[in-house]
Amino acid sequence: MIAIGADHGGFLLKEEIKKHLDEKGIEYKDFGTYSTDSVDYAKIAYKVCKSVTNGESEKAILCCGTGIGISMAANKVKGIRAACCSDWFSAKYTRLHNDANALCLGGRVVGAGLAIEMVDVFLSTEFEGGRHQRRVDQITAIENGTFEE
């Protein structure tokens, strides 16, 4: 299951991504928003990310105008590693090297074609582990207040 959500700035992109997930038969849960009416992105980020951290969803896809605000909010949820991406290489490598579990996209930044390519590579790329595991563990230690310099 993929958890998906957007504010008004990312709503139209979210709808395009949902169409693509439907075509590919990928199961998702849409946490809103459901129109272009103004809504606060932090509320959406929280609900979507909780679906990941409580085990209901494997990964999150989040859209706002820039992808930035919703990624900042997502990264405050313990256990979330959210990456705001505008290019395919970053969407791939944030899975390979950072084990990102949330992809954040800007509906006012990227077109649907590129966004869908990024979604596909993000969802199909496995974390490489190895030396990258140590670095991800360091991020987790910072989050937990147990990081040792």
Interacting residue ranges for ligand RB5, rule: CB under 6 A:
7, 9, 41, 64-66, 68-69
Is 132 assigned a catalytic role?
no
CB-nearer residue toward ligand RB5: 92 or 104: 104
Residues 12, 34: Cα–Cα separation, whole Å: 9
Tokens of residue 35, six digits: 């129109």
* Strand pairing class (28-30; 82-84): unpaired
Q: Per the residue annotation, which of 64, 84, 85, 104 is the catalytic one?
A: 64
Could you tell me the smallest distance in angstroms from the CB atom of residue 37 to ligand RB5? 12
| Best CA proximity match to 87, nearest among 113, 63, 69, 126 | 113
CB-nearer residue toward ligand RB5: 41 or 92: 41
Q: Which residue is nearest to ligand RB5 (CB)?
A: 69
CB-nearer residue toward ligand RB5: 3 or 64: 64
**Cα separations in angstroms, 143 against 19, 38, 138, 146:** 35, 31, 9, 8
Catalytic residues: 64, 97
